[in-house]
Structure 1
Amino acid sequence: MKSKFLALLGSAVLSAGVAQAGGFQANLQGQKQLGMGHAGTGLALDQSSIFFNPGALAHLRQNGIQLGVSALNAKIAYREPSPGISESATDNPISTPFQVYASFGKEDSPLRFGIGVYTPFGSSVNWGTRWQGRYGLNELTLKTIFIQPTISYRITDKLGLGAGFIYSTGSVNLQRSIPLADANYNEAGVELDGAASGFGFNLGVFFQPTEKLSLGLTYRSKVEMEVKEGDVTFRLPTSPLVAGQFQATQFDASLPMPANITLGIGFKPTEALTFAVDVQRVQWSAYKSLRFDYNAGIRGETFSESPRNYEDVFIYRVGAQYKLSEIFTIRAGAYYDNSPVQEGYLTPETPDSDSRGVSGGLTLALSDKVDLDASFLYINKKERTDDASKSGGVAGTFKSVAYIPGVGINYKF
């Protein structure tokens, strides 16, 4: 019982993401790109190039400020393994991942500076305290914010390079039930809460050999999010024998936000029509295990470690936009995202499986300086049954979907 409790505790604290991407990555960084399946590495569309390809930023001819937000509504359903027939579903709050970008430079200068503030990882999942897997997880909230100052240089009219430094900050809150062996008490609870931070970088190359064709290549580094002296609070019955087993008050932990390599192609057969294709490699293999170190004993142990052994995977994205007039542009796109979670490693905070996303969007030019963007993304993850034998998670069948509308505004000057 002791080792199983520690494995369950170690499985849930920092891993979130629910239904928006493989693992716990949230690909919601630009409203125009969202309308095209989140493809945009090979295009110089707007200020969100700070994220998608810093090398393309210097090919924008105007300074600008861009604000955007999405409303992530994700649902997960669970069914007990045979012969059980009980089912549960999450009651997740709506999350609001956002993006803020700004860039500036002299009109004729090949040099452009920018800054981005965005949320590439994080979400909320709430299973409640009565579901069958409550010893694995009740509720989890993960928040991350990346701050990225960026510099981009246009070497020629065809070639641009860019780089950005990333500082990440965030927080995590976990609540779960604890099984008790005491004859007088069935279960207790625990809450873990902490702040996390880390560092990384973003590099990009943009090449436009012709007016119709453009190419982009980016590398976003791994960011190791570290929690130092997070708080551990137990909800225990008034029993000295039980309380003596749970003495920890703080924990340390870390979680890798994986590196990404993306190759993008943009093709513009006519002045009005643009196609985009991205192939993204997510280096999830950095996530080998999840370890927690405690400042005092939990049932006699001062640390816990549970295996993850995620695999590197590809994401394939396609999209298009068509400019109907000087004031109205429409978009559509799709993607296929392979899950990095191997068989036997499924957990209730990231019941991940291969996912399919379809999207649409539009831009309305309100004036020469102000554009309004809108997008909608629907994600459907394949139903997945797993025995969780290697992760210490919750065995059963999981199914996830997400509905994500978004809106953004661009000011050019």
Structure 2
Amino acid sequence: MRKLLLMLLAFAPAMVLAQGFQVNVAGQKQIGMGHTGTGLVQDGASIFFNPGAVAMLPENSIQAGISPLFFKPAFQAAGSVNVAQSADKVATPFSAYAVFGPKNSWWKAGLGVYTPFGGLVDWGNNWTGKYVLESLDLKAIYFQPTVSIRLAKWISVGGGFVYNHGTVNLTRAIPLANSTGSDGQAQLKGSGHGTGFNLGVYLKPTDKFSIGVDYRSKVSTTINNGDAIFTVPASVQANFPQPNTFTATLPLAATTSVGLGYMPTSQWTIAVDANFVQWDVYKALAFDYANNTATLQDTYSPRNYKNAFSIRGGLQYAGDAKHPNTIPKELALRIGGGYASTPVQDGYVSPEVPDANRYFLTAGLGYKATRNLTVDVSFEYEHLMTRTQTTIETQLSGTYKTNVYIPGISLTYHW
């Protein structure tokens, strides 16, 4: 029993550390083009994709967008015909950017607020894996003040300081029944912060070709004095002292991106991005509880993640006053897609991180409603490859199948 309880408590907010919760829905134009943006100058979302490109933006702007995320995981336990599914809940990743500076100047500044990590899942309290996870609500909000400098007509650089504020609320059952036969419950909730940076270089050697390189650093986020709440029968309450708190540090991996842009005509834009994510920094997850007992000990849980990558591509076809017989000049059509590998190795897949290699397809459109106001919408479909696993620590065994649906909209006021 003691060993089982320790394993249950070892599984706290590891869910921030996977491709599945690295949502990166940081701009509607970029989502519509398959999440490409490192090698392009499009809008204020360059603060996230490549701060080096911000100095090349022709206008100042304020924009805000939201991308409701419908995460649809399913789990079939080994030897069972029953399939557990997460309840229908909607996570709400968002982004907001402000870019300002003198027109035609050598510099611009900006501020980005965005949510590159997050998750919302609720498996309920009656499924096979309830002792691993019942529900999870995770949010990570990044604040990034940014400065970008144009060194020459064809090259600019930029960077920003990153501050992360994260919150987590996780519940799971404990196999200690009360007088009515109901399981006990553990709830871990708290908030933390971390810091990092984002650096980028943008080059446009010709009118038709551009390239960008971006590096987003690791952000080690520390949760201090998170609440550890245990609901158990009175006969064992002394083994789970209340009130109690925990401390944990979670490394959010660094990402290196290279992007290419090609504009064969005034209407067409073609983009390709490649991303390398250094998840190998995530070796283990350790928890330090303020009050320990013989049952409730500090934990050290191996993760042994590996580095991951993604390849993305996209197209945009935009209206042009020089071509009035095509689409309206106020309209832009976008399409894209890509492939992303998982950092989660065999034996470490769990309901908190039901991750797998995935492909995704995107589409979007932009409409210039007035001289100063643009509306952009997007839609993304992600399919995670079916994955059959037995988790090393809990021995939960079965098959995971997951699809993700992400509509999105943003408004931009530019001048």
- Tell whether the structures are fold-level matches, with TM greater than 0.5: yes
Q: Distance in 2 between matches of 1:6 and 1:273?
A: 57
Judged with a 3 Å threshold, the aligned counterparts in structure 2 of structure 1 residues 363 and 181 are, in CA distance, closer, same or farther, namely: closer
Q: Distance in 2 between matches of 1:14 and 1:80?
A: 22
Alignment correspondent of 2:144: 148
Alignment correspondent of 2:189: 193
| Maintained 8 Å contact 1:14/1:142 | no
Q: Distance in 2 between matches of 1:357 and 1:149?
A: 30
Q: Distance in 2 between matches of 1:191 and 1:120?
A: 24
1:267 partnered with 2:262: yes
Alignment correspondent of 1:402: 404
Alignment correspondent of 2:60: 63
Counterpart of 2:119 (choices 118, 123, 142) is 123
Judged with a 3 Å threshold, the aligned counterparts in structure 2 of structure 1 residues 92 and 303 are, in CA distance, closer, same or farther, namely: farther
Q: CA deviation at 1:186?
A: 6.6
Aligned AA (1:86)? N
Counterpart of 2:90 (choices 90, 94, 108) is 94
The 5-angstrom pairing of residues 75-114 of structure 1 reads: 75-81=72-78, 83-114=79-110
* Paired residue secondary structure (2:15): coil
Counterpart of 1:337 (choices 322, 336, 340) is 340
Alignment correspondent of 1:315: 310
Give CA-to-partner distance per residue, 1:89-148, whole Å, 9 cap, x none.
000411110000001110121110000000000111100000000000000111110000
Q: Distance in 1 between matches of 2:111 and 2:177?
A: 53
Count of aligned positions:
406
Q: TM-score, normalised by structure 2?
A: 0.95
Q: Distance in 2 between matches of 1:54 and 1:393?
A: 44
CA RMSD of aligned residues (A): 1.6
Counterpart of 1:164 (choices 139, 160, 164) is 160
Alignment correspondent of 2:26: 29
Alignment correspondent of 1:228: 224
Alignment correspondent of 2:250: 255
Q: CA deviation at 1:233?
A: 1.1
Q: CA deviation at 1:312?
A: 0.3
Aligned AA (1:196)? G
Q: Distance in 2 between matches of 1:135 and 1:46?
A: 45
| Maintained 8 Å contact 2:374/2:413 | yes
The 5-angstrom pairing of residues 380-399 of structure 1 reads: 380-389=383-392, 391-392=393-394, 394-399=396-401
Alignment correspondent of 2:3: 3
Q: TM-score, normalised by structure 1?
A: 0.95
Q: CA deviation at 1:15?
A: 1.4
| Maintained 8 Å contact 2:240/2:296 | no
Q: CA deviation at 1:155?
A: 0.4
Judged with a 3 Å threshold, the aligned counterparts in structure 2 of structure 1 residues 186 and 129 are, in CA distance, closer, same or farther, namely: closer
* Paired residue secondary structure (2:25): coil
Q: Distance in 1 between matches of 2:300 and 2:123?
A: 23
* Paired residue secondary structure (2:132): coil
Alignment correspondent of 2:329: 326
Counterpart of 1:372 (choices 375, 378, 384) is 375
Judged with a 3 Å threshold, the aligned counterparts in structure 2 of structure 1 residues 84 and 211 are, in CA distance, closer, same or farther, namely: same
Q: Distance in 2 between matches of 1:77 and 1:25?
A: 19
Counterpart of 1:210 (choices 206, 221, 228) is 206
- Residue segments in structure 1 that go unaligned for 5+ positions in a row: none
1:132 partnered with 2:115: no
Q: Distance in 2 between matches of 1:146 and 1:404?
A: 20
Q: CA deviation at 1:250?
A: 0.5
Aligned AA (1:382)? M
Q: CA deviation at 1:300?
A: 3.2
Comparing 27-36 with 297-306, which one deviates more in the overlay?
297-306
Alignment correspondent of 1:244: 238
The 5-angstrom pairing of residues 289-304 of structure 1 reads: 289-304=284-299
Q: Distance in 2 between matches of 1:2 and 1:217?
A: 50
Q: Distance in 2 between matches of 1:292 and 1:322?
A: 50
Q: Distance in 1 between matches of 2:227 and 2:123?
A: 22
The 5-angstrom pairing of residues 34-49 of structure 1 reads: 34-49=31-46
Q: CA deviation at 1:246?
A: 1.0
| Maintained 8 Å contact 1:348/1:394 | no
Q: Distance in 2 between matches of 1:13 and 1:32?
A: 31
Judged with a 3 Å threshold, the aligned counterparts in structure 2 of structure 1 residues 48 and 294 are, in CA distance, closer, same or farther, namely: same
Aligned AA (1:354)? N
Judged with a 3 Å threshold, the aligned counterparts in structure 2 of structure 1 residues 398 and 344 are, in CA distance, closer, same or farther, namely: same
Q: CA deviation at 1:313?
A: 1.1
Judged with a 3 Å threshold, the aligned counterparts in structure 2 of structure 1 residues 4 and 238 are, in CA distance, closer, same or farther, namely: closer
Q: Distance in 2 between matches of 1:299 and 1:183?
A: 24
Q: CA deviation at 1:5?
A: 2.1
Judged with a 3 Å threshold, the aligned counterparts in structure 2 of structure 1 residues 326 and 186 are, in CA distance, closer, same or farther, namely: closer
* Paired residue secondary structure (2:228): strand
* Paired residue secondary structure (2:56): coil
Aligned AA (1:292)? F
The 5-angstrom pairing of residues 355-370 of structure 1 reads: 355-370=358-373
- Residue segments in structure 2 that go unaligned for 5+ positions in a row: 320-327
| Maintained 8 Å contact 2:159/2:200 | yes
